[in-house]
Amino acid sequence: MAQLTGKTRPRICYLPTASADSPAGSLAFYQSCAPLNVEPFVQNSFIESLSQTQGWDEVLLSMDAIVVSGGNTLNQQAIWKAQGIDVILRQAWDRGIVLGGASAGSLCWFDEGTTDSRPKALSIVKCMGFLKGSHSPHYDAEARRRPLYQKLIGSGEMQPGYACDNDAGLYFEDNTIKRVVAARAGAKCYHVKLVNGKVVEETMEPEML
């Protein structure tokens, strides 16, 4: 993401709302940034106005990239809407600020997807819709993900879309896929769609990062 900004020393913000602003996650972000030529920031959502003296727009729109944490997507979306962060992220998208993340941090950009954010079972979550269609993370890591995703697309309950194994990802410019990447051998991405009434899973072979 730092390279994608095209900046020599990009400002990169970590947005850990889905993890309830986990201090461990924020520390891990700073540790990951330590060997890189970047300016790292963390923007918590559980804040109060005495210490949070800048608006969401002042912080987020000053960044070159925004990395969103994993965690509870449903809660993330509810908090962002309550705070107006979703509106600011749309402005960031429109300005070409690099946006990304894993798990909840990848799901949040699509129209909808499968989530474990509710009790008992995987379910559908509606998200921000910057990327059209649906998404399923953890495609190879959680046994129920693949069959449920295909079932929902097959029944018409969910739009066609893209699934990612752990350690694989998609890079979009606007709504066009420009790169399919992986950080682990064997990790892949998939385009899941309906063809003549049947679910088709098209494997998207990645380049290794």
Are residue 94 and residue 125 in the same domain, yes or no?
no
- Helices (DSSP H) in the chain: which residue ranges? 2-5, 23-33, 56-60, 73-83, 85-95, 104-107, 145-155
Please indicate, yes or no, whether residues 80 and 130 belong to a single structural domain of this protein: no
Of 90, 108, 126, the residue that ends a domain is 108
Digit-coded pLDDT (tens) for 78-134: 999 999 999 999 999 999 999 999 999 999 999 999 999 999 999 999 999 999 999
0.85 surpassed by pTM = yes
**Of 180, 144, 143, 174, nearest in space to 162 by CA:** 180
pLDDT, one tens digit per residue, over 144-165 is: 999 999 999 999 999 999 999 9
Statement to judge: residues 22 and 85 lie in one domain: yes
Fill in the DSSP letter of residue 206. Answer: P
Q: How confident is the model at residue 39 (pLDDT cuts 50, 70, 90)?
A: very high
> In whole angstroms, what is the distance from residue 58 CA to residue 72 CA?
25
138 is catalytic: yes
Q: CATH number, domain at 75?
A: 3.40.50.880
Residues in the chain: 209
What is the three-class DSSP state of 155?
helix
* Catalytic, out of 103, 106, 117, 134: 103
Question: Is residue 193 located within the same domain as residue 125?
Answer: yes
Question: Among the three residues 82, 108, 134, which one is the final residue of a domain in this structure?
Answer: 108
Backbone region of residue 59 per phi and psi (left: phi > 0; alpha: psi in -120 to 50; beta: other values) = alpha
190 vs 206: CA distance, rounded Å = 10
pLDDT tens digits, 80-94 = 999 999 999 999 999
Does 103 share its domain with 118?
Answer: no
Distance of CA 72 to the CA centre of its chain: 12
Instruction: Mark whether 124 and 82 lie in a shared domain.
Output: no
Asked if residue 73 and residue 145 are part of one domain, the reply reads no
145 and 44, same structural domain? no
Q: In the 8-state DSSP scheme, what is residue 17?
A: G
Structural domain containing residue 170: 112-209
Q: Provide the residue type at 157 as one letter.
A: E
For range 22-29, the mean pLDDT? 98
pLDDT at 149: 97
Looking at residue 151, its pLDDT comes to 97
Give the confidence band of 168 by pLDDT, cuts at 50, 70, 90: very high
Q: Could you tell me if 84 and 5 lie in one domain?
A: yes
Centre a 10 Å sphere on the Cβ of residue 208 and count the other Cβ atoms it contains. 9
Q: What is the pLDDT of residue 185?
A: 96
Based on the fold, state whether residues 3 and 94 are members of the same structural domain: yes
Say yes or no: 26 and 8 in one domain: yes
User: Which two three-digit tokens encode residue 97?
Assistant: 């600020």
Query: Are residues 99 and 137 part of one domain?
Result: no
Let me know if 103 is a catalytic residue: yes
